[in-house]
Chain A
Amino acid sequence: MSINEVAQVKRLTLNKIMLYLLSVAFLFLSFLTKFQEWVLFLVSLTILGDLIYLNRKNLKNFDYLSLFILFIPIIGIGLMYAFGNFSSYYYSLVDRIFMPLNIISFVMSGVVLARGDKNLIKYIFVGLFTGLALICLINAITTIVKFGFFYTFNNAQQYMYYGGVISTTSIESIAYCLVGFRLMPVSVLTYLIYPCLLLLICLFYLFNPRRCKKNIIYCSSLLVVSLFSILVVISKFSFIVILPMILYIIVMMVLFIFPKLFNRPVTISFMVIGGLLAVFSLLFFLNSQSTNTAIKAFTSSNSFLNLLFNNRLARPIYLVLDGLFLKEKLFGFPILYDEIAEAQVMPCTNFAANQFMYMGIIGVMFLLLLFILFVYSFVSLRKNKKLDFMNKCMPFLFIVGTMVIFSFMDSGNLSIYGFIPNISATNPFFLFTLMLIGLQYTHSLGGTNNEK
């Protein structure tokens, strides 16, 4: 090799290492700077800048207007988070200004990634997954040191105290997590999100034969860390919470092992399930309104419907949704679910319901538009035969997996003593999901460098 070629190789390697380290830094900083959005923005901007620099040649000939439709809901969601009543009450102006900027920055990173060299994606993802595994390990070891082994069985009915204030739940529902610069006790829900996401990630590595062979040690390490983290807090409660995710993973395992199934029968099944879920969601929403006596009579008319609509998990969700459609509130406009502080309604464990609280009905409409664009981009991507399986399906399956997880495990409260908000706009996984949506949408527009 000539001296110039050696220098070029060294520069490329250095860039890749820097990208890898930046990704790990992003994940750690996004946890450590829990209440400092501007620091997160600096990190995300650095990643975006680095990606743009590395891919500058590929970005020249691209129709950016085609991204306009994607950025309508993205900017809308960002603005609703920033200027909604919930954020205004709990976050400073500095944090709120950077919320939409962070959201846009991550989606742009996804767009640039899709236009970039496919090998670069590997470095970002490996960095993020390694950082996630490290955080899972830190949380698991801290929980064991603080509470001991099998504390969910041995010490279930004990309560923690701080400054005389008792924890809202007993310690079988408490674990230790890295939040901000502190290792603090949080609900098991918050703790479980990280190993569940890691388990989801392992799925895509382990059941993709080509990647699995090359990375078997790395994949197995991730799997061991995630299972160990889940085992630390295993109990009847945590098992019920992660059950939907386990079912999702089993379905995905079947699809990976029998890929031919992932065609017409599965597509039709998904459409049927999607339709049923849409009907269920609509009924659920209408049932939450205390003035809808006819719907309430219907949903409690027999034991099956009663179990489906009026169970213990549904009640906190109803509290959040109730009152949004009363006429005097103008259907939740402008923006606000404006009785947060007075009503003291806590965020529930359902992502969709919590968005009504965080950004109001208009924000939810934007989120729905984003979801429609996401599904549409996947459908058009499936027809693209030039892309390999991972680039085609992985973002979709991962995002659907996180939707399943966050339908049951969206932790809106970080504290076990009072209330520390944990809105989605500050959640690194929400931002990572938006990055994947940007990635998938750009792929669906075609002409990217990741096509074979």
Chain B
Amino acid sequence: MLSSCGTELSKTAHFNVDHSGVWEDNFYTRWDESLRNKETEQVTITEDENQVFTSFYDQHFLDLEPDHSLTYYDFDETSFGTHRNLALHDPLVNDGFVSKLFNGLLFCNGWYELARVQINEEGFSSSFYKPIQSADYLFLQFKSALDFKQHSPTAHYADITIHISLYGKRNVTYSFPLVNVITNASDGYTFFGFSLDGFDISGTTDFAITYTLDRDEYNEEKGTNISHALMLYEFGFGHPTF
């Protein structure tokens, strides 16, 4: 029993995010040490074969999500966030800092720190409490950002490779290179995802999200090295079974 004490500590954060106002203090980098160096099968997603979408209105997403009455921008009874957040299926994901990714809030819209998790390329890992057996698709809503304090928030583009790892019966990292991701734009959200058809995700209990910044237009042009982050807003699965 002694070794199992402190079960909630892994769900806490050492800071009160966004209340410090210091960019560098707000990165969430907690990793389950047993997962950090775990070898995973590398799978590179392709746009057509895996029906990748980068917008809520992409045809690939419209094909994967049959309920076209769900709205994108508002958090109300008709919104996508209200109907597809993971906490609806697994209430235990409400516990912890990463619960921000499962509460259905896809946008900043005054929600601020209620909605987002700020990560750097090191990323983070977290757990599901009910193993996922299958799902139609996977989605991730995020913004790309440079540290505002170091330069004026000029909208520009960046190239990012997203890596989403799922751990459980199989340990697989799905990667996809995204080019021209809008960065530092106040309404510049990216709704990314792909079909899970053909992938066996049964028994998935943990996940990790990291990324690689391949190119940032602003840093490249100005010759600067301003810190970059991904602001993650929501992560989930379409029609999961447990």
Contact = CB atoms under 8 A, between A and B. Distances in A.
Q: Do A and B come from one complex?
A: yes
Interface of A: 144-149, 151, 155, 157-166, 170-171
A301 to B, nearest CB: 36
A170 B13 CA distance: 10
Contacts of A145: 1, 4-5, 7
Interface in B1-50: 1, 4-9, 11-17
A170 B15 CA distance: 9
Nearest to B85: A163
B5 to A, nearest CB: 4
Secondary structure of the A contact surface, majority rule: mixed
Nearest to B87: A163
A161 B96 contact: yes
A157 B115 CA distance: 21
18 contacts: A146-B7, A147-B9, A148-B6, A148-B9, A149-B5, A151-B6, A155-B6, A157-B14, A157-B15, A158-B12, A158-B13, A159-B16, A159-B97, A160-B8, A161-B12, A161-B13, A161-B97, A171-B12
Contact of A163 (B4, B9, B17, B99): B99
B52 interface: no
A340 B93 CA distance: 33
Given A147-B5, A166-B16, 8 more contacts: A145-B4, A146-B6, A151-B6, A158-B12, A158-B14, A159-B13, A160-B12, A163-B102
Interface of B: 1, 4-9, 11-17, 87, 94-100, 102-103, 105, 111, 113-115
A151 B6 CA distance: 8
Contact of A164 (B8, B9, B115): B115
A159 B14 CA distance: 6
A163 to B, nearest CB: 5
A58 to B, nearest CB: 50
Nearest to B14: A158
A163 B87 CA distance: 8
A159 B5 CA distance: 17
Contacts of A170: 16
Contacts of B99: 161-164
Nearest to B95: A162
A176 to B, nearest CB: 9
B5 A164 contact: no
B15 A159 contact: yes
A158 to B, nearest CB: 4
Given A145-B1, A166-B17, A166-B113, A161 B9 contact: no
B10 to A, nearest CB: 10
Shortest 6 CB-CB contacts between residues of A and residues of B: A148-B6, A164-B100, A158-B12, A146-B8, A148-B5, A164-B103
